[in-house]
Structure formats: C-alpha cells, structure tokens
Structure 1
Amino acid sequence: MSHLEPLNLPETDDAATWGEWVRSRSSEELDRARTLVDRLRTDPPAEALEVLRLWDHAAGHLGGVAASGSLFGNVHPDQAVRDVADAAEQDADKLSTEWSLDRTLYEVFAGLAEEGLDATSARLLEKVRKDFRRSGVDRDDETRSRISAIRDRLTELDQEFSKLTRDDVRSIKVAPDRLAGLPDDWLAAHPAGDDGLVTVTTDYPDAIPVRMFAHDQDVRRDIVIAFLQRGWPDAEPLLEEMFALRQELASLVGYDDWPSYDADVKMIGSGSAIPEFIEKIAAAAAEPMRADLDTLLERYRRDHPDATEIPLYDSFYYQERVRQEQFDVDAQQVRAYFAFPKVRQGLLDVTGRLFGLRYERADVPVWHEDVAAYDVFRGDDVEPLGRIYLDLHPREGKYKHAAQFTLTDGVAGDQLPEGVLVCNFSRGLMEHDHVVTLFHEFGHLLHHVLAGHGEWFRFAGVATEWDFVEAPSQMLEEWAWDPAVLRSFATNDAGEPIPVELVEAMRRSDDYGKGIYARTQMFYAAMSYWFHADEARRAAGEEVAPLSDRMVDLQRKYAALPYLEGTHMFASFGHLGGYSSAYYTYMWSLVIAKDMFSAFDADGPGDLFSDERLAVATRYRDAVLAPGGTKDAADLVADFLGRPYSFDSYSAWLAR
C-alpha cells in the first residue's frame, strides 16, 4: 500500500481561518473537477477505461466538496463557518446538476465501447449512463433549464430544513422539586438558575431522561410537547415546497411520482413496493404490538384506573416501569455501568478485536475540543487504513441526531478514507439505548473506512443501495447486547462489571416493546412515503390533506401510541430531507441485518469472540463491508450467507 496522508485541517480555533480553509479548499477541488470534465468534453481519451477514470476522479473531487460542506455545515461551532460550508455544498450540487444535464458529456459515455472493461468498470459505466438518463439530459432545453432550477432550489430547501431542525432547541423551566425521579448525576448537571428554576432543553441528553424518569406527569407532558413542536410552524412551508418540487422533478424525467423515481436505484426497486412493505411489517407487528400495549395498559391502570389508552407523554415512563417491575431492569441501575469514557474505549476495543483493527489516538487539529481523532490500522500494519473523528457531545449549532458524515472518500493509491461520527451523548453516564446507538453509528464508520480501498470513488465507502446501508450498522448493535462484550468495558464506580444476569434481563426487557417499536417505525415510513406520493395526486388535481392532518391520519393507522393533540412531529423529522420517501429503509435493512447475524448465531447463544465467530466476522468484513458498492447489496449478502437473504430471521425475532 502506498503511503497516503490524511487531510490537514486548520491548526487553529480561529473562525476566519477555518472559513477561508473551507472556501479555498472547496474552490480548488471544484477547479480540479472542472479541469477533468473539460478534457472529457473537448478531448476525451480513446480508451473507455481512461474516460471512466477521468470522470470518476472529477466526481471524487466534487463529492469531497459536498461531503466536507455537509459535515462542517452541521458541526462547526461558528455560524459563519457553517454558512461558508453550506455555500460550498450548494456550489458542488450546482456543478453536479450542470454536468448531469450536459448532452456533450452524455454522448461521450453513450458512445463508449465496453470492450476491455472488467466487471467493476463495466458496472460503473452502466451506472453513469443511468445517472444521465435519470437526470433528464435527453429533455429539451427548456425542461433541462427547469430541472436545473429545481435541483438548485431543492439543495437550498434541504439545507434550510436541516438548519431549522438543528437550531430549533426548545426548553421548559421546572422547579427542582418537580424533577424527582431523575438520576443524581443528571440533577447535579442541571442546577437551578438565578430564577430558582431548572432549564430542560429538547436536546437528547436532557429530554430523554426526563420523559423516562420524571415522576411528575406534567413535566413529562411539557417536555414531550416541546420536543414534538420543534421546527413548527416554519418547517411546513419548506416541506410543502420540497415535496412539490420533487414531484415535478420526477415527472419531468419520466416517472409517475417521486417514490418511483427514488426507488428505481434502490433494492426495493419500485415506489409501489414501499407501501406493500409497510403493510407487511405492520401486519407482522400487529399481534406483538397488541401484547405490548396490553401489558403497558395494565400497568398504567394501576395509577390511572379509568384509562382506555396510554398517552404518548406517559408511554416512555410507563414502559420503563414495566421493565423495572416485570423484567427487573432499572435503567438508572443499568446506566451506572455505562460511563461515557469507558463506553467509547470499549467500542474501539470490541470492534478492533472483531474486525482485526487497531486505533491509535491522533494528535491532530480538530474543529472543537470535544472531538477525538484516531488513525485506523489493520493488524500490525504501519500504514493506516484511514482516520476517524468522534464528535459525540451536544453543543449549540450542532447536528442534533446521530449520524456518520464523510470527510473524504478513500481510493487505493489516491486518498485515505476519513469519516466522522456525530452524536449527542452525555459526558457522564449513558442510557444503554445510547450505547446501542453508538455501536450502530460506528458500524457506518467502519463500513466507510473498510470500503475505502478500492479502485473507484463511485464505489467507495457506504456506496451500496441506500436501503441496505443501515443493515451493517444494525447488525453491529448485536454486540452491544452480549454479556461478555459488555462486561469487557461496562463497569460501575467500584470497578465491578455489569452482571450477566442483568444483561440477560435487559435483553428480555428489550424484547418487550418490539411490537410498539415496529409499528412506530411504520408510522414514520408511511409519512415518508405518503407525504411524497400525495404530491402526485395533488399534481393531478386531487385534493389532499394538509401535512399536519395527514400525519395524524397515518399515526392513527400505523402507530401503537395515540397522537398528542397540538403537536407536529413531522416538522422536526429530519429524515424527510435526506431519506425523502425512503424511511422504510431502516426496517428493510433490519430484516437483512437479522438474517446476516444468523450466521454468527447459527449454533445458538455463545461467545461472540470465539474463534469460530471471529472467522465469521472476518468473512463478513471481506464479503460485505470491504467491497463497498462494487456489487449489488443482494449479491454481497448472498456471498456472505451462501444464499439469498430471507424474512425468516426477522419474523422469528419479532415474534420472540
């Protein structure tokens, strides 16, 4: 492996320097991209392989600008730098649109002979040609001009929606004595202000413990309402315009609706298959949901005898009561074993052992003091596989959820992969759910780094079909439930590892609520799909319900828990931006993840670090993660399992 250096970030906290670095690097990368594409337009190489290399490198430069723009637009602590980064991302998207509608470029690829191309480069050519066709390059000048304007506006709308959901942090103020039930460390971190009241924000480390543990029902109600009001009312007109423009774009390039356009390049294949999948999961989860709700309502009626249903704001608290009383799992007891520094190191130790990796802390510039950088190596290699950054605590102006962002894509001999984990966890004790989330998101990071050593930028990193990308991360969650794995890092203040019996009880407890979870996910998936599918009906002259009303209808049809009057959850549902109509992806991927994990669990419960299972992990690493997008996801899974994936493992898990 040739020696490659990671990207050099500014060695200063100065916002002006950072802003200039983002601006100048973006400009340089876009110029490199333009130079390569100009050659393709005016003097393309005779060999098809060389044409593809020029295009792929141009796309690599362009993608790097979009990726770093998205990252720093979401994580840099200074608003001015975030604005520069957002502008860079817009510039990259505009240039991408310009290329996609360039008939001269399209003719270069349409006329390429395929002789001499290997399977992977032929796959690349096929995808490039499809990209051009889907872009509308064959439409007339007026249509292509409209497509360009739509795409530019969609980039702006996506950024505006993302910024709104990122920056709209709401809060309630509560007298300290009304926070009874909250963990001691949480209370210590939330002293009363000068007015004698404690401020509780809608950021996850504040809101989740309050809705789970606060004994005061009114406090629980107030924080849940505040949480579900984020983005409202400003998000609604942004989303309405976004959905309408997506529908117009899809129709201009020959599709019936946006879900059909979007699904055409995913595993699911067609837009009409999305509601079919939603109904399939909803039906499979119906009986588990009813059992979960019966258990929950029985417990709720002990405190509220006349209740006929459980209000949403009480559901989190009473699910926790069920887990305590019926499964002997107290989340406050559990979190005593999950101090953040131990969890972070444990994650590195576990994944290092599982995949034959080692992580070395890198003393390099970062954008905030909370960020930790690590170089990733395979075994005893001296050359790194890539670099990762862990940005794991909340702060003002930062992305509010959990995600892996790309800093650079990796290509062998050209550029190291660098990825960033962006989360919002407590600096102290963590809920186990957050530990699971950390393992999940780290799965994306591993996928990005391990798949960053191929020949093509197009297939680097998490470059499979979008409805498969969650499967490797969902499978890695399994290690966050294994007693031996957890005992390797989960210890309390006395240094005692978490008891095996407690972890087993946690697993049983987690099995409770799967029906509620699956139906909630189908509510989200239905919103994602029908908000877009309705636009086709609107465009055809039909009357469709406003977004708020449509959300309520879908919640009543699919969700396990009732709508909370006056709330507008969709206004902060950030997945309506990036995932558009494809939120079904999470459950689609989970079906595959459960099937893939069956290869590790073939002989029943056991040591996940046994020699046999480590051999399976190596095979999984090399068959599913390392290839990136060089094969269809279904083929990657079949290579690993030795058969096509099936619904059976998921069904068995859901019914358990």
Structure 2
Amino acid sequence: MTPEPLALPTSYDDWPAWFRARTEDELARAAELVDALREAPPSDPREVLRQWDRAAGHLGNAAAVGSLFGNVHPSAEVRDLADAAEQEAQRIGTAWGLDRALYDVFAAIDDAQVADDPEAARLLAKVRDDFRRSGVDKDEATRERIAAVRERITELDQEFGRVIRDDVRTIRVTPEQLAGMPEDWLAAHPADDEGMVTVTTDYPDSMPVRMFVRDQEVRRAITVAFLDRGWPATEPLLTELFALRHELATTVGYADWPSYDADVKMIGDGPAIPAFIDKIVAAAEGPMRRDLAQLLERYRRDHPDAVEVPGYDYNHYAELVRAERYDVDSQRVRTYFDFGKVRAGLLEVTGRLFGLRYTPVDVPAWHEDVTTYDVFRDGEPERIGRIHLDLHPREGKYKHAAQFTLAAGVAGEQLPEGVLVCNFSRGLMEHDHVVTLFHEFGHLLHHVLGGQGAWHRFAGVATEWDFVEAPSQMLEEWAWHADVLRTFATDAAGEPIPAELVAAMRDAAASGKGIYARTQMFYAAMSYWFHADRVHGDDAPDLTDRMVELQARYAALPYLPGTHMFASFGHLGGYSSGYYTYMWSLVIAKDMFSAFDPDDTGDLFAAAAVDTAHRYRDAVLVPGGSRDAADLVADFLGRPFSFDAYAAWLAR
C-alpha cells in the first residue's frame, strides 16, 4: 500500500501546534526504537539494522521539517520552533553516536550474518563508520566535549544562515539612474513619494540591475551591497565555526576538518581537494585568458586606460559582449521566459524524459505561492512522491536556490516529499534563472525517484556528497537546447524562441566558461583553506586577508576593495570545506551527458535520447545511495567516469 503524504495545517494559526506535534512525535518514536535496541536488541541482525534505520528515519523527519520551515515559513514563531527542532535532532543524533552501549550492538554483529544482503551489509559498514567518526571510542570527558562542540556547531551554522537570510540590503536611486532596465522590471519598481526607487540585494533585483543598468555607480553600489551582506555579523560566527570543526576533526583522529569531511566522499582525503582545484585551474587557464581578453577589449572602448574589468562591471560588459559579438540581447531573451510557461515547461520536459507525470493537487501549504504536485510513473496509478514548488522571494525566506526534504521516501513506509525553494521573478525570467530551475529540479527528481527503496539511510540524494550535484548539473543541459526550449519558451505573441537565438546563446555562454571555472575554483579554495588554515590555531590568517589572497591566486576577476563576500557565502555552512564538489560533480555530469547525444545531433527528445534517459533514471537516480556513486555511473556509462568530456567542453 502506498503511504499517504503529510497533511499540512489548513489554517495559518494551526502551524505552531502542528509543528510541535510533528517533531515531538517523530523524536519520541525515534527514542522508543533506540531505547529498545539498546536494552534488548533483536536476535536477527537484519532486524537490528531495520530498527536502527527506522529510528534514524524518524530523527531525520524531525530534522527535515526543522531545516525546511526554518528557512521558508513566513511565521517567525514557526521559524524559531523549526530551528530549535533541528538543534534537538542534531543533539540526539550526536548522543546516539557517542553511546557505547549502542555501538556494542553493532560491533557484536558477525559480518557473515548479512553477507548475502548487499544493502544490509552496506548499512552495517556505514553505521560502524558513523560511530568511529563520532568518537565513540573516546573517554567520557572527551565524549562530553564532542557533544558540546557538535551542539555549538549546529547553533553557529543556523545563526550564520539566519543572518544571511534576514540581511536584505538596499540602495535608493532615481528613475533616471535605472536607464537600461527592462520595462517590466521598471513597471514593478515605481518611484516612492520622494521620487526614489528602492533596489534590494534579492536576486530578482540585483542580478538584472548589474546586467542592464547603464549607470556605473549604480552597478557598483548594488554590487557592494550584495557582497557585504552578513558583514560584519557573520565573521565571528565563521571564525568560531571553523575552529570548532577543526577541534572535532582532530579529536576523532583526523589531521584537519577537510580530511575528516572528505573521508566519506568520492574524493577520499583532504589533500586531494587542493590538487583537484589546481587541476581545474590549469585546464581553465587558456579559456579564462581568452574570455578576459574578449571582455577587456570591449571594456576599453568605454574605459581606454583600463587594465582589467572590475567585478561590479563584469555582468554588464559580459552582457554587452553577448549582444555585440554574439547577437544575444538578454532583454529580448527574457521575453521568451515567462515564469508560468517555464514552470509548466519544466514539468512537461522532465515528465517526457523520465516517464513521469505530475498532477497538481489543491492542498494546504505554508504560503500561497507554493504549488504542489503528486508524481506518478507513466501508466501506473499509484503516486511515487509529492513535490512542492516555492519559487518567489519574500521576507524571512531562504535567499538562494535549493531542494529541501520534507520527508525521505521508503517503500511501503513513507512517501518521498521534496520542496524546491528558489527566488525567481513572477514575470519574465533571466535565462540563467531558467537554468537554475532545471538544476534544482534535478535534485527534486533524485529525491523522489531515489525514495522508493528499502532503507532510510539510502533514500533519495543520500549518495556521496561530491556526487549530489551531478544529476542536477546534467539536467541543466536541457535548458540550453532549442528543441527543448521551443516546447515552452514563447513570447507574448506565442512565437517560440528562434533556434538561431538559442544557438547564439550557447556560443555566448561558451565564451565565459573559463571565467566561470576560475571563479568556482576561487570559491572552492576559500571553502577548503578557511578550514585547513585552522591547523595554525590563533595564527590562522584573517578571513578577509585570506579571501583577498585566494581571489588573486584563483579567480578571473579582481577583488573589490572593502567588500567581504565570504560573509554571505552560505555554502561555508552546509558544504563546509567541500565546495569543490560542484566542479567535481560537473566533471561527472559532462561525462554522463555524453551518453545522451553521442552524435551531436542536438535532438534531446529523439527516441534514443529518451531511452537513454530512462536507463539513466533506473541506473543512477532510482538506487539513491544504495551503492557507491562511482559504481552507479560506471553501470550507466559502461566504464568508469573520466575527465575527458569535461576537458573537451571547457576547451570549446
């Protein structure tokens, strides 16, 4: 029997009570299962593992609603309850990991007893590794310190995210200073009683202003405001966070936090991270120089003495290069991407590719902007999941784009429910935002399709963290092909986007790949070295100084004096030292995509491409984390993944 989805409150006022009941019930069920396991474990090792997995699932349910609603709920009361629930779930998980009596239950299992069940054997190995990494073998005083450190890390991570979420900065300009902006944007931003227009650092404002406004001072002002979000409040939070992560890692036997974090990823160990960064930097050197030369040539037509293009002018002049060299006018491109059409098109495209259908359902949600769909396999009557799309900005909401879990899926026990959280315009969208929507929906597909297995531990995107981005990055490819875009990208008159315009957009995007790759490696280096530097203790470099040095070494664009971009770099929270994973995953994504269009026909709806999509769905997405990611990819490609496809893409 298919499990039912969660029934959310029908009244705004009922949310606090519903949230308390949901989390208290889940935590109580988790505690009951673990207490029984500790006191009288089943004789069958599989039942021991099943009981532990269910307990972890209930704990995960409480943590999931805490993480989600702490980031999206319009009620500050519910957000506070959510943050507290997430902290409590983390505290309980830490206590379990340090409980020697629990560890003894798993240590006593003979591996031979589960050898004939690969997933059970995999779970047993991972549970034992969890206990080792938790520090269960340490003395009581050390375990108490570990628990305190982990609790404080959770608090700091939440506060870091909260500051970024709430710190929306603004600039005020005259309507005349907004010359160059699209008409629909201007209509949505009328002047106030003082004749001024307020521009925020939220993406639907800051991105088009940096692209289109002709006034350089306005571009500079919004860029400074954007880069300084969170400053100076988050610096002491991050400094303490990095120090505590280092303490935790060294306490349980690792050289530093990156080594601890990488131990359970595809990359394997910490020092491999800067080696990978350097590999990408070297591969991107030529493309970056080509891109910068092209950009500087255009910039010097307006600024003859310039020796470089400042960061606050990059988006604007990249747009001019696209328009003048490649005949791509982003304001024209926007007219083909009405939000409603894009959302409908995304569902149609992914349904067609992966053999799915989405049925809209009229159910309560946390905000009127949220749209909800049940997900079905084609030809099958039972839903396999539910998705919620929360895609527009509002006060108190998460500021970037991400997929959040509402419930992880386990066959016969719990329906997978995922939430897409983004901040897009309600009207016309930038094509970059269309690509972002496809990217994040890739995570949502992985969550739902991978939520049909037998274990909570392996549900959905529970793969190695440096593989998580590969399926979502690969789905971006469908937002760059004319045969796909023309199915939904139409202007006000209903005319589809011209194929030659899409071809020009692809050529224009190719011209910025080197700058993009080097920018990503700057972020990855910052993510790594901010943590690795903790080996120096109090002598670790100042965060701003280190950021400036890393930007000079790795990035394509220069540092903007006086700004502190790291202060709002939210990935320093959840991704910690592992931002390299985006590029690591992109290498795999490019290799996987090579299987879809090997003859370079460009027809991603051809029968062969759809057949490949179905095979990819079943080989890579459906298994979730039940096998190593490298093995899933090898099964799909028929060989281990390689660097070749990525290198060829970067060089084009």
Band of TM-score, shorter chain: over 0.9
In structure 1, how many angstroms separate the alpha carbons of the residues matched to 2:113 and 2:604?
44
Which residue of structure 2 aligns with residue 201 of structure 1? 200
**1:68 and 2:68 matched:** no
Residue number in structure 2 paired with 1:192: 191
On the 8 A contact 2:335/2:491 being kept in 1, the answer is yes
1:630 aligns with 2:630: no
- Please give the secondary structure, in 1, of the residue aligned with 2:556: coil
Partner of 1:515: 514
Determine whether 1:560 maps to 2:559: no
Counterpart in 2 of 1:98? Answer: 95
Matched, 1:295 2:291: no
**Could you say which residue in structure 2 is the equivalent of 1:362?**
361
**Residue 647 of structure 1 corresponds to which residue in structure 2?**
643
Question: Aligned match of 1:40 in 37, 41, 64?
Answer: 37
**1:72 is aligned with what amino acid?**
F
Alpha-carbon displacement from aligned partner over 1:47-80 (angstroms, at most 9, x marks no partner): 1000000000000000010011000000000111
Aligned equivalent of 1:55: 52
Once the two structures are superposed, the pairs formed by residues 585-600 of structure 1 within 5 Å of their partners are 585-600=581-596
**Partner amino acid, structure 2, of 1:506:** M
Please give the secondary structure, in 2, of the residue aligned with 1:173. strand
Counterpart Cα distance in 1 of 2:22 and 2:641: 43
Equivalences for 1:140-539 in 2 at 5 Å? 140-538=139-537
Q: Give the residue type in structure 1 aligned to 2:507.
A: R
The structural deviation recorded for 1:536 is 1.2
Which 10-residue stretch deviates more, 107-116 or 59-68?
107-116
Which residue identity lines up with residue 547 of structure 2 in the other structure?
M
Residue 595 of structure 1 contacts residue 649 of structure 1 at CA under 8 Å; is this kept in 2?
Answer: yes
Please tell me whether the aligned partners of residues 36 and 54 of structure 1 are also in contact (alpha carbons under 8 angstroms).
yes
Contact 2:161 2:570 in 1 (8 A): yes
Q: Secondary structure at the match of 1:4?
A: coil
Is contact 1:4-1:413 (8 Å) kept?
Answer: yes
Q: Secondary structure at the match of 2:288?
A: helix
2:204 is paired with a residue of what secondary structure? helix
Partner of 2:12, secondary structure, is coil
Provide the secondary structure at the position in 2 that maps to 1:71: helix
Q: Which amino acid aligns with 1:576?
A: L
TM-superposed deviation, 1:606 = 3.1
CA offsets 1:106-165 (integer angstroms, 9 cap, x no match): 000011122342011100000000000000000000100000000000010000000011
1:581 to 577, 581, 591: 577
Residue 24 of structure 1 and its aligned partner are, at CA, apart by 1.4
Superposition CA RMSD, Å: 0.6
Determine the C-alpha separation between the residues in 2 that align with 1:622 and 1:24. 37
- State the SS of the aligned residue for 1:160: helix
Task: Give distance in 1, aligned partners of 2:234 and 2:301.
Answer: 39
Q: Is the 8 A contact 2:362 2:372 kept in 1?
A: yes
**CA deviation map 1:263-287 (0-9, x unaligned):** 0000000000000000000010011
What is the distance in 2 between the residues matched to 1:140 and 1:612? 59
How far is 1:382 from its partner? 1.3
> For the residues of structure 1 that align with 2:191 and 2:128, how far apart are their CA atoms?
61
Question: How much does 1:189 deviate?
Answer: 0.4
Q: Secondary structure at the match of 2:112?
A: coil
* CA deviation profile, 1:380-401 (whole Å, cap 9, x unmatched): 2111010000000000000000
| Aligned-partner Cα distance in 2 for 1:585–1:3 | 35
Please say if residues 591 and 650 of structure 1, whose CA atoms lie closer than 8 Å, have aligned partners that are also in contact: yes
Q: Give the distance between the partners of 1:24 and 1:88, measured in 2 at CA.
A: 11
Cα displacement (A) at 1:3: 2.5
Distance in 2 between residues matched to 1:482 and 1:631, nearest whole Å? 32
Secondary structure in structure 1 of the residue aligned to 2:380 = coil
In 1, Cα distance between equivalents of 2:500 and 2:318: 20
% identical aligned pairs:
71
> Counterpart of 2:650 in structure 1: which amino acid?
L
SS at match of 2:171: strand
Alpha-carbon distance in 2 for matches of 1:604, 1:317: 32
Measured in 1, the distance between the counterparts of 2:32 and 2:435 equals 45
Partner in structure 2 of residue 616 of structure 1 = 612
What is the rounded CA distance, in whole Å, between the counterparts of 1:235 and 1:294 in structure 2? Answer: 36
Q: What is the distance in 2 between the residues matched to 1:420 and 1:604?
A: 34
Uncovered stretches (5+) of structure 1, i.e. residues with no partner: none
Deviation, 1:537, is 2.1
How far residue 544 of structure 1 moved from its aligned partner, in angstroms, is 2.6
Shift of 1:538: 2.0
CA distance in 2, matches of 1:450, 1:116: 30
SS at match of 1:142: helix
What's the offset of the Cα at 1:605? 2.3
Residues 48 and 114, structure 1, Cα contact 8 Å, conserved in 2: no
- One-letter code of the match for 2:71? N
In 2, the alpha carbon distance for the partners of 1:475 and 1:379 equals 22
Counterpart CA distance in 1 for 2:135 and 2:113 is 29
SS of the counterpart of 2:67?
helix
CA contact (8 A) 2:2 2:415 kept: no
SS at match of 1:385: strand
CA contact under 8 A between 1:490 and 1:497: conserved in structure 2?
Answer: yes
By how many angstroms is 1:12 displaced? 1.1
Q: Give, in whole Å, the separation in 2 of the partners of 1:91 and 1:23.
A: 12
The question of whether the paired residues in 2 share the 8 Å contact of 1:174 and 1:197 is answered with yes
**What SS is found at the alignment partner of 2:239?**
helix
Q: Structure 2: any 5+ residue segments left out of the alignment?
A: none
Normalised by the length of structure 1, the TM-score is: 0.99
Per-residue deviation at 1:611? 1.0
How far off is 1:601 after superposition?
1.6
Cα displacement string for residues 467-490 of structure 1 (whole angstroms, at most 9, x for unaligned residues): 000000000000001101100000
Q: Which residue does 2:123 correspond to in 1?
A: 124
Equivalent pair of 2:597/2:603 in contact (CA under 8 Å): no
For the residues of structure 2 that align with 1:169 and 1:202, how far apart are their CA atoms? Answer: 6
Cα deviation per residue 1:71-91 (whole Å; 9 max; x = unaligned)?
A: 000000011110001101011
Instruction: Measure the CA separation in 1 of the matches of 2:601 and 2:288.
Output: 26
Q: Counterpart of 2:386 in structure 1: which amino acid?
A: R
Between the aligned partners of 1:606 and 1:568, the Cα distance in structure 2 is 42
SS in 2 for 1:386: strand
Q: TM-score, normalised by structure 2?
A: 0.99
Give the partner amino acid of 1:52.
L
- What CA distance in whole angstroms lies between the structure 2 residues aligned with 1:523 and 1:79? 35
